[in-house]
A and B are shown apart, each in its own frame.
Chain A
Amino acid sequence: MSITIKLFASLREALGEAEFPLALETLPEADVVDGAASVAAIKSALCTRGAQWQEALNQPNLVHALNHKVVYVDAMVADGDELALFPPMTGG
């Protein structure tokens, strides 16, 4: 059971990773309900990777996109899903 995490722009640069798989089994058991975990739980799990991750993922305007759609942190992420994290968009 694994999801794909993608990071973009300043977040990708700060954390030195663009894309990696994350096994939901590595999350605390209580955070996985019917094979899915919330975006908030996944962020918490990633924050245990170190101070840099904590700082980057706790920035107030961080955007979360689940399978290419912007979601709130209560969205549930299941096996095979793609969760992208990035700063506010600045195109155009």
Chain B
Amino acid sequence: MTISVQAEPINIGDEYAALVGDAPGAAVATFTGYVRDHAGDNPVSVLHLEHYPEMALKVLQSLGQEAVARFGLLEWRIVHRFGSLSVGETIVWVGAVADHRGEAISACEFMMDTLKTDAPFWKREQSPEGTHWVASRGQDEQRRVRWEQGEGG
């Protein structure tokens, strides 16, 4: 039931092993987000992630706790990176352990949807033409609002 905000690459094997431990729950779901090589039609070579460290820790911790309250998780983990990331590197990894698959899968979706709009990280994409800040997407906000309306949970 922990978080990590780190510059280092995410070791998914280690994270999974630590999440599951010696006594796995019945259902384990994880999600991994990677740096894409494009944004729409534009190529992306490097992704810069700025963050607000103190607030990021608090927000991620509280959304993990909310996931426990909603889905009765046995274990959870959120790992988010900051700094300069190359194409194909991991940006984010979330994992959830529950008694049943529905709760574990929904919890990962909830954590990702909430994290996207509530955790203070900002992406800046670098392409051969220069760099630009990524704009927030209405689509992400809609996915977030879904959980507030209780449809997703």
Footprint of B on A, CB under 8 Å?
A: 6, 8-10, 12-13, 61, 65, 68-70, 84, 86-92
| Cross-chain pairs A/B with CB under 8 angstroms, 22 sampled | A8-B52, A8-B120, A9-B122, A12-B50, A68-B52, A68-B59, A84-B52, A88-B136, A89-B116, A89-B118, A89-B121, A89-B122, A90-B123, A90-B135, A91-B91, A91-B116, A91-B119, A91-B120, A91-B121, A92-B80, A92-B91, A92-B116
Would you list which residues of chain B between 40 and 87 have a CB under 8 Å from chain A?
49-52, 54-55, 58-59, 80
Residue among B33, B92, B118 with most chain A CB within 10 A:
B118
The closest CB in chain B to the CB of A10 belongs to: B133
Return chain A residues, CB-CB under 8 Å to B96: none
Partner of A90, one of B52, B112, B136: B136
Q: Which residues of B, 108-142, contact A by the 8 Å Cβ criterion? A: 112, 115-124, 133-136
Inter-chain contacts of A68 with B (CB < 8 A): 52, 54-55, 58-59
B122-A8 in contact (CB<8A): yes
Q: How far is the CA of A13 from the CA of B112 in the complex (A)?
A: 27
A65/B119 contact (C-beta < 8 A), A8-B52, A90-B136 known? no
Asked if B122 and A87 sit within 8 Å, CB to CB, the answer is yes
Which among A61, A68, A88, A89 has the highest number of chain B CB atoms within 10 Å? A89
Asked whether B50 lies within 8 Å of A8 as measured between CB atoms, the reply is yes
A91 to chain B, nearest CB (A): 3
CB of B112 within 8 A of CB of A92, answer yes
A69 to B58 CA separation, bound complex (whole angstroms): 9
Q: How large is the interface on B (under 10, 10 to 19, 20 to 34, 35 or more residues)?
A: 20 to 34
Residue pair B120, A92 in contact (C-beta under 8 Å): no
Residues in B lying within 8 Å of A, measured CB to CB: 33, 49-52, 54-55, 58-59, 80, 91-92, 112, 115-124, 133-136
A90 and B112 CA atoms in complex are apart in Å by: 12
Q: Report Cα–Cα, A43/B93, bound state, in Å.
A: 36
Contacts of B59 in A (CB 8 A): 68
| CB nearest to A89 among chain B residues | B120
* Contact between chains at A61 and B136 (CB < 8 Å): yes
In the complex formed, the residue of B with least CB distance to A92 is B116
Cα of A45 to Cα of B126 in the assembled complex, Å: 34
Known pairs A13-B133, A91-B115 / 14 extra A-B pairs, C-beta < 8 Å: A65-B52, A65-B55, A84-B55, A86-B52, A86-B120, A89-B118, A89-B120, A90-B116, A90-B121, A90-B122, A91-B116, A91-B120, A92-B115, A92-B119
